[in-house]
Amino acid sequence: MKEEIPFDFSDRDRSEWTSISLTHIEYIKGDNLGKLLALFSLLPVALGISFGTLIIFRRDLHTICFLAGLILDEGVNWVVKRIVKEPRPDFGKEVLYTEYGWPSSHSQFAWFFTTYLIVFLFIRVHHNQHFFENAWKYLTGVGSIASSCLVSYSSVYDNRVYLGYHSLNQVLWGAVIGAALGLFWFCFVHLLLTPFFPTIASWSISEKLMIRDSTRIPNVLWFEYTCHRSEARSRLRKMTSRKSL
């Protein structure tokens, strides 16, 4: 399943390329669009760090499962690349982490995340049916789709590979595989794993690690806000009564 690349950037001088130093993603010097797209290509890295931080502070089972799905998605991409062995376009890049490019891991990651997030928002988050009070769900969905499109577009431009890492075919198949895996993983977690969350949360190891199950709480944000406010007021009353004594 190899694709012939009918174009090349061999006429571009090596000195024209520069990179985002964090992951050495290269773009043409002075190309502001290329720099913007290179920054958007770092979105999977930012999401990985965000998930790690969220799990450390919240320790919610569904968040842990979401991250497990993203790791699974990366594993599937790694395996498929080494089965298909379709090379990346040869644009004279100085650094390529793998020689294989089908499917695009960035595109697959982005569309896995977007598909899972949107299905989660409209199936699991349903504490209020008023459109305006739920506008954040629509805005989050649109923002996620737009971000995934930009991550994908960072590889596709005018029938060429803009940053020179993937062909159009590699990016499109990455999006298809990522979306399919995102939908599959949500169904797996929602239908098969979620019923076991209360049991898992009651395990002694889960209690020691403070792992929680928020599945049955309709609005976690409001729940945590009211609990925090109630506890703060209770402690304030105790402090006031002690001082009065």
Judged against a pLDDT cut of 90, whether residue 130 lies above it is answered with no
Of the pLDDT bands very low, low, confident and very high (cuts 50, 70, 90), residue 180 is very high
Supply the pLDDT for residue 21: 47
Judged against a pLDDT cut of 80, whether residue 8 lies above it is answered with no
CA distance 207 to 124: 25
Of the pLDDT bands very low, low, confident and very high (cuts 50, 70, 90), residue 161 is very low
CA distance 65 to 48: 13
Of the pLDDT bands very low, low, confident and very high (cuts 50, 70, 90), residue 187 is very high
| Per-domain residue ranges of the chain | 14-208, 216-245
**If you search the block for the tokens 């990985």, which residue do you land on?**
48
Q: What are the Cα distances from residue 26, in Å, to 41, 87, 95, 219, 234?
A: 11, 18, 9, 43, 56
Q: Are 95 and 20 in contact (CB under 8 A)?
A: no
**pLDDT tens-place string over residues 92-114:** 544 445 567 788 888 888 899 99
CA distance 118 to 160: 30
Mean pLDDT of 181-194: 93
* 6 prior amide bond cis, ω within 30: no
Supply the pLDDT for residue 189: 92
Helix 61-84 vs helix 168-188: angle between axes, to the nearest 10 degrees? 140
**pLDDT tens-place string over residues 30-74:** 666 766 776 766 777 777 787 788 888 888 888 889 989 989 998
H helix or E strand, kind and range, residue 70? helix 61-84
**pLDDT tens-place string over residues 194-236:** 999 999 988 999 888 888 888 877 777 777 788 888 888 888 8
Of the pLDDT bands very low, low, confident and very high (cuts 50, 70, 90), residue 242 is confident
Supply the pLDDT for residue 85: 78
Strand partners, 128: none
CB-CB neighbours of 230 under 10 Å: 10
Mean pLDDT of 142-150: 84
